[in-house]
Amino acid sequence: MPRSYRRSAVAFLLCGVLAMTLFVTGPAQAKDSAWTVRGPSPHSGPLAQLRLDGASGALALQVSRGGRTVIEPSPVGIVTERADLSHGLRYLGRHDRTVVERYRSTVGKQRSRTARMTETRFRFRGGGNARLDLVVRVSDDGVAYRYDLPSGSGDVLGETSAFTLPPDAAAWLGDYRKDNENLFKEYTAATAPTGEYMAQALFETGGGYALIAESDLTGRYSAARLTHQQGMPTYRIGLWDERVESDGPLSTPWRALIVGDLPTVTQSTFTDDLAPASRVADTSWIRPGPALWTWLAGGKPAGQSLSMQKGYVDYAAQRGWPYVVVDAGWYFDPDQWDVTDPDWQRNSWIPQLVDYARERQVGIQVWIHHRDLDTAEEREQWLPTLERWGVKGVKIDFMDSESQETLRWYDEILKDTAAHHLLVNFHGSTIPKGIQRTWPQVMSMEGVNGEEKRTNTPQHLATLPFTRNVIGSMDFTPGAFHRPERPNAVSDAGEVGLSVLYESGIQNLAGTPESYDARPLARRFLEQIPATWDRTRLLAGRPGESAVLARASGSRWFIGGTFTGPAHTAEVPLRLEPGRWLVDLILDGPDGLVRKPTVVRGGQTLSVPVAADGGFAAIACRWRPGLSTCDRP
């Protein structure tokens, strides 16, 4: 037999044997694949590991820090009209890059920011030849991922995204509510009751703390909440809408984990770092600052009275507060005008108030109901009018939804308020998931069980700095000394401290002029609250027990602390720069507030007597011989 024929015969025989082998044994088992994404500081920061199961084609993401687990392998996937991209995936490749972005914020924990992240884009193909890109970012303080889908993917029907914690991880959770205003309570990851929770959940694991968050949420998608079954340590992403409409390429919001020790998490700007850059070119008109909020001070009658509002303007001018916020009532009085009349604006006294306030260097912001701005025609009626009157900002209330339709409304109102140079404070709202970087006129958002509520607890107050306020400005409205319902009613010093402890671009101070005048030390402290902060540091605390934060403005540090439990002496590390500091303390005394100046070196411990469920406030400045106060003249 010729040699070429012999070769052909052997090849044919081998093919036959291989075919028989495959017939008998079936297809070979595919191997698992795993990839690691490291951040800028892999030895101290978190790292993410993505794993593709060879048998099911399903993805799972694990997060660790310092060699210890933060998040157990957790499902990653999305389901669209065209394909179920939670399994059956085949790896196509990856692309790595470094992201470095520098930007300035109009509000928040610090003005100047630098975001450094490593980014890996993983490309997959699923059933029906559907495509999916999974984009993973890792920074020194967080891990995030999002799904990128090409045109033709259809509407999104849901995500299989989830976070699996160690079962015994301490958990601070708030039941889900459409306006994000429920209390935080402490559980463990597995024992929390079955239900839905707000997507601002904090866990303590062996690898540090992890705060679940979301960023770059717009009308292209639907807001997330967490769903949980008691006994299981997994928290799944649930969307407001059963179907998310998409008619083109889609980048979903970021599923984010803020990761690190407690100071790292508390001081993090990760959700802003993930968000798109500012869409407002000229921000010179955007001016944060404290405001006298007249709702808790005077209620609806104050909103209906020009003379009362002038009195508040006078008081704000005396205090040096740049704003007065006129709340509900100013445009709902039937004795003033018919709101269905196109010329109703001419009957308003707001322009008179604006002129009066301008002469005293005070700006006016006004409350307005969402239903009066929910169409393009209404926005065209209201917003140019308010700008023409000289109103500086709007407090928009009662959206009470995180649906895709409502988020599309946010997109429109944000463009319109920027165009008409109006600052914005959203109430009855979602929370600021990166929105303040993209739209810097957003001074604050509610999304918190704040001072006007009657159900707050000291534990809730001591959890907010580690959960809700990490994500963005929070309009808690502190300073309502006259309200007996406030949870730290026995501690006026604690109430003063909340004005620093809680960050808000417009710090709406909720007390009456009489209550401030009765507490001159509190009044003097609140007169000095800065418009913005340069830096923020956590000095001490644990969620649900205590929180002490220091925020810098120029060379001075403002300090606020809140504590739960009986009266005691708190030991607070003064984590400031080296050198001697004069710490001007405001404490609770037997007959009211007292001032106690103390000289301490940076890094030493500050002993602070606090009342039961109370707190304190302080200003720290560089000590020099003869200096006895940190007050500015």
551 Cβ partners below 8 Å, 6+ apart?
109, 500, 503, 533, 535, 536, 537, 557, 558, 559
* Angle, in degrees to the nearest 10, between helices 404-419 and 376-389: 30
Strand partners, 175: 197
Residue 419 φ then ψ, to 5°: -65, -30
Q: Measured at the alpha carbon of residue 263, what is the angle toward residues 260 and 268, in degrees to the nearest 5?
A: 70
Residue 84 host element (H or E): none
SS3 of residue 164 by DSSP:
strand
What number of other Cβ atoms are within 10 A of residue 84's Cβ? 17
Tokens for 76, please give them.
């990653």
- Residue 79 CA from chain centroid, whole number: 27
* Angle, in degrees to the nearest 10, between helices 350-359 and 376-389: 40
Contact 417, 285 (CB under 8 A): no
**Which segments within 457-544 are labelled E, that is strand?**
508-509, 535-542
Q: What is the DSSP letter of 253?
A: P
Residue 87 φ then ψ, to 5°: -160, 175
Tokens for 353, please give them.
């108030």
Residue 406 host element (H or E): helix 404-419
Contact 482, 544 (CB under 8 A): no
Tokens for 49, please give them.
């590991």
- 255, 381, 361, 263: which is closest to 318 by C-alpha? 361
Cα 444 from Cα 426, distance rounded (Å)? 7
- 407, 409, 414, 483: which is closest to 450 by C-alpha? 483
- Which residue's structure tokens are 């799904």? 147
Cα 200 from Cα 430, distance rounded (Å)? 11
Cα 289 from Cα 553, distance rounded (Å)? 13
- Which residue's structure tokens are 């800065």? 530
- 282, 289, 329, 338: which is closest to 309 by C-alpha? 329
Judged on CB neighbours under 10 Å (0-12, 13-18, 19+), 532 is middle
Strand partners, 556: 553
Residues in the chain: 633
Active site members:
397, 452
Contact 177, 449 (CB under 8 A): no
144 Cβ partners below 8 Å, 6+ apart?
136, 137, 215, 254, 255, 256, 257, 270, 274
Q: What is the CA radius of gyration of the chain?
A: 28
